[in-house]
Amino acid sequence: MSEEQDLGLRLLIAIRKKGKTQGEVARAVGISDKHMSQLVNGGSRILQAKGALLIGLSRELGVTLEHLLGLDEGAEEKDFVGAAAQLVSA
C-alpha cells in the first residue's frame, strides 16, 4: 500500500469514527466531494496537499495532524489496524 493509500485509509477511518460522510467533511473544509473521494482513495496527491487542507481535515475529524499523516505510531496504531479490519469486513 502506498503512503497516499495509507493516508486515505486513515482519513476514511477518521470520517467513519466521527459519524460523518465524506461529503459532509468535504463541505466543512471547502473542497468538492470528488476531491474528497480522490483523497480517500489515494488517487489524489494528498501528501502534496496544502497544509491548510490537512490541518482543516484533522480539526474537522478531531484527530492530530500526526495521526492523519501516520507519524504517531504506538497506541493509535492498534486503533488503526482494528478499524481497518472492520472496514474490510463491512
Write the pLDDT tens digit of every residue in 42-71: 766 666 677 888 899 999 999 998 888 888
Pick the CATH number of 3-89 from 1.10.260.40, 3.90.330.10, 1.10.3720.10, 3.40.50.1970: 1.10.260.40
- Please give the average per-residue pLDDT across 24-53, as a whole number: 84
The predicted model scores a pTM of: 0.71
> What are the sequence ranges of the domains in the chain?
3-89
Please state, in angstroms and as integers, the Cα–Cα distance from residue 27 to each residue in 38, 82, 84, following that order: 15, 28, 25
CB-count exposure of residue 11 (10 Å: 0-12, 13-18, 19+): buried
